[in-house]
Amino acid sequence: MLSNLKILVVEDQPSNFIYLEEVLSMNGAKIIHAKNGMDAIQCFSQNSSIIDLVLMDIKLPGIDGFETTKRLLEIKKTPIVAQTAYAFDRDRNKAFKAGCIDYLSKPIKANDLVKVILKHAAKNSNDKQ
């Protein structure tokens, strides 16, 4: 389903990352992992030409997901999907304002994750052509 998509997963919690990696890998995606905002900015700077989508945790140590999203979009316009355990409307609105194109609340169901990625990665793929 997600065959050959390259996804930057920004997630500081190991158990959450393991789950996301398992779901995405089982569906054919290639994963790049960043554990915090600074790591994400560095990874994205070096790999932006091959990254199809970013899955961004909002609550990160150091630079939060909102600020990280803004900085990544300054480097290159790429679909960024916010994910957080705190599903408050203000966080959702702040994520969209920062530049995220969608929002998933944890715990994330595998089906929902794949659907959202397919929806936005397909758009991004069409935009690249």
Token code pair at residue 45? 């700077």
Query: Is 70 exceeded by the pLDDT of residue 125?
Result: no
Which CATH architecture best describes the domain 6-123?
A: 3-Layer(aba) Sandwich (3.40)
Q: Which residues, in sequence order, are bridge partners of residue 82? A: 56, 103
Non-local CB neighbours of 44 within 8 Å, separated by 6+ positions? 8, 34, 51, 54, 72, 75, 76, 78
Rounded to the nearest integer, the mean pLDDT of the chain is 93
Express each pLDDT in 77-113 by its tens digit: 999 999 988 767 888 999 999 999 999 999 999 999 9
**pLDDT of the residue at 33:** 99
Q: pTM of the entire structure?
A: 0.93
CA 35 to chain centre: 12
Domain boundaries defined on the chain: 6-123
Q: How far apart are CA 68 and CA 107, in angstroms?
A: 22
Average pLDDT for 51-78: 97
Token code pair at residue 47? 């790999």
